[in-house]
Amino acid sequence: MDTGEIINEYKDQVRILKQQINELEDAGKSKDAANKRCLQKLEFSTKDLEDALAKIKALEEKIKEKPVEEEKEDTSNDTI
């Protein structure tokens, strides 16, 4: 092999390595974008869960208050 062939071989290897670097960078960017979408979904799901738990707690409090009111109504009907 003469120096010209060695230089051409190295140029081919550098070109291939640059192409692989570009592919890896693109794959990394795609992965980052997918991770960002997943994180956003998780944040929205967490907010929805927090809102649902708050509603459940409010309804449970309302239910706890309701039987007391019904008992008062029942006792007032007994005196009549």
The structural domains of the chain, with segments of one domain joined by +, span 22-80
Would you place residue 1 in the very low, low, confident or very high pLDDT band (cuts 50, 70, 90)? confident
Would you place residue 9 in the very low, low, confident or very high pLDDT band (cuts 50, 70, 90)? very high
Per-residue confidence (pLDDT) for residue 45, from 0 to 100: 98
pTM, full prediction: 0.57
The residue type at 6: I
To which H or E segment does residue 52 belong?
helix 3-78
Q: Which residue has the tokens 């008062």?
A: 72
The residue type at 43: E
Q: Which residues 6+ apart lie within 8 Å of 9 measured at CB?
A: 1
pLDDT tens per residue, range 26-41: 999 999 999 999 999 9
Question: Is pLDDT larger for residue 5 or for residue 1?
Answer: 5
CA distance linking residue 19 with residue 66, whole number of Å: 70
Would you place residue 70 in the very low, low, confident or very high pLDDT band (cuts 50, 70, 90)? low
